[in-house]
């Protein structure tokens, strides 16, 4: 199946502007154009874009994403290097998850503390 940039933007929850930016940055190397010069996306392109979005949403820098794409374009000989990039990214995410868990626990503890103070939140005063 083929999709327009607008259709793909809706599918992956990005703007057409972001898709053009990603293409200009070399993150979407296999986008074809129709006879009018409009981008034409395939299902494979959509799946790749979902992966690129995943990397970006998990804070992988654009430069590292571009490096990953360039390696992908070089073929299967680069799979070990690509795996190493993903292993490192996973490790970074796991570390961030642990940190976020600690932060969430601290916030929950503070909420419990405030709830135990018997404060009327609507008035900012102690309840009688």
Residues 4 and 67 in one domain: yes
Q: Are 89 and 63 part of one and the same domain?
A: no
Closest C-alpha to 63, from 12, 105, 116, 27:
27
How many angstroms separate the CA atoms of 22 and 25, rounded?
Answer: 5
- Per-residue pLDDT in tens (0 to 9) along the chain, 128 residues: 999 999 999 999 999 999 999 999 999 999 999 999 999 999 999 999 999 999 999 999 999 999 999 999 999 999 999 999 999 999 999 999 999 999 999 999 999 998 888 777 666 666 65
Model's pTM, two decimal places?
0.80
Distance CA 74, CA 70 (A): 7
Which of 36, 52, 73 represents a domain boundary (last residue)? 73
- The answer to whether 89 touches 83, Cβ cutoff 8 Å, is no
Which stretches of 18-100 are assigned E, i.e. beta strand? 32-33, 39-42
My answer on whether 41 and 89 are in the same domain is no
Same structural domain, 47 and 3: yes
Q: Are residues 65 and 15 in the same domain?
A: yes
What's the total number of domains in the chain? 2
């Amino acid at each position: 199946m083929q999709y327009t940039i607008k259709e793909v933007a809706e599918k992956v929850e990005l703007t057409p502007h972001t898709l053009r930016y990603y293409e200009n940055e070399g993150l979407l190397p296999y986008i074809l154009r129709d006879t009018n010069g409009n981008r034409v996306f395939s299902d494979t392109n959509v799946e790749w874009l979902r992966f690129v979005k995943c990397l970006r949403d998990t804070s992988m820098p654009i430069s590292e994403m571009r490096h990953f794409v360039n390696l992908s374009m070089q073929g299967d000989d680069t799979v070990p290097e690509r795996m190493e990039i993903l292993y490192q990214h996973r490790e970074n995410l796991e570390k961030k998850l642990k940190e976020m868990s600690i932060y969430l626990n601290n916030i929950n503890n503070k909420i419990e503390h405030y709830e135990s103070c018997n404060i009327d939140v609507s008035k900012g005063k102690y309840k009688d």
